[in-house]
Amino acid sequence: MNISEILLLGPVMPVIVIDDADLAVPLGEALLSGGINAIEVTLRTDAALNSIERLAKELPEICVGAGTILTEINAHSATNAGARFAVSPGTTHLIINACKAHNLPLLPGASTVSEMLTLHEAGFTAIKFFPAAAAGGAQFIKSLASPLPHLQFCPTGGITYNTASSWLALANVPCVGGSWLAPAHDINQQNFSMITERAKQASTLKRP
Ligand code: 3PG
């Protein structure tokens, strides 16, 4: 699947920070049973790569991506772990080239119009808008629909269940990202039924 197809798997992509790889599959099952089909596991913890590996092997029904890709090594390790896509908070040539070299679809991060234009020149049509709330909010992305009609955005950063709808109402936002469904403390405490409930709520948010 390419990034545009992945962004259509559901209106919300959970952003996961996981500390214990033993909890990766139970977490994936909890999200899947709540209707979530794609997740971003951030490479911010020692358990992240092992978690991606277990999810890719043991729960292939869920499309697992690696987030917080900052370096070539991150792209290489994510590919080896079985990530099906990569997400970066901002984007450099090194990140783009490393993902290309591994045939790893990249959702590249950007927060300014010039960065977005540079990504479009590099062939990208789907972009992570990060940090979404702090960098301008839904009004910012709404303002881009007319001058940048070829671009789609996955806003992430500071989005909650209560604010997700205002983003999803925009024609250029197929999906939002957020950690609210499965925050690290709920994963650590194995509050999986609560995570499933939030996943159900999130996965039934409506797009226009
Ligand atoms: C992140 O970088 O952690 C993601 O953008 C998620 O942000 P959030 O925790 O504000 O949802």
Span 96-111, pLDDT tens digits: 999 999 999 999 999 9
Q: What is the pLDDT of residues 51-79, one digit of tens each?
A: 999 999 999 999 999 999 999 999 999 99
What distance in Å separates the CA atoms of residue 47 and residue 33, rounded to the nearest whole number? Answer: 23
Compute φ and ψ for 186, nearest 5 degrees.
-70, -35
Q: Specify the CATH class of 3-203 in words.
A: alpha beta
pLDDT of residue 28: 98
Residue of the nearest CA to atom 8 in ligand 1? 157
Residue of the nearest CA to atom 2 in ligand 1? 157
Mutating to test ligand 1, I would choose from 179, 186, 187 the residue with most ligand atoms within 8 A of its C-beta, which is 179
Q: 14 CA distance to ligand 1 centroid (A)?
A: 9
Residue of the nearest CA to atom 7 in ligand 1? 157
**26 pLDDT more than 70:** yes
List residues near ligand 1 (CB under 6 A).
Answer: 15, 130, 156-159, 177-180
Residue of the nearest CA to atom 1 in ligand 1? 157
Domain boundaries, the chain: 3-203
Nearest atom in ligand 1 to the alpha carbon of residue 156 is 5
What distance in Å separates the CA atoms of residue 109 and residue 20, rounded to the nearest whole number? Answer: 26
Residue type, 6: I
Whether residue 119 contacts residue 153, with contact meaning beta carbons closer than 8 Å, is answered with no
Confidence bin at 208 (pLDDT 50/70/90): low
Q: Give me Rg for the CA atoms of the chain.
A: 16
**Cα separations in angstroms, 169 against 80, 109, 155, 163:** 36, 21, 12, 11
- DSSP state for residue 111 in the 8-state scheme: -
Beta strands in 17-105, from DSSP E residues, in sequence order: 38-42, 63-67, 85-87
Q: Is 42 helix (H, G, I), strand (E, B) or coil?
A: strand
pLDDT of residue 206: 82
What distance in Å separates the CA atoms of residue 75 and residue 12, rounded to the nearest whole number? Answer: 23
Whether residue 14 contacts residue 40, with contact meaning beta carbons closer than 8 Å, is answered with yes
Q: Would residue 128 show up in a list of annotated catalytic residues for this protein?
A: yes
- DSSP state for residue 164 in the 8-state scheme: H
pLDDT of residue 207: 72
Q: Would residue 61 show up in a list of annotated catalytic residues for this protein?
A: no
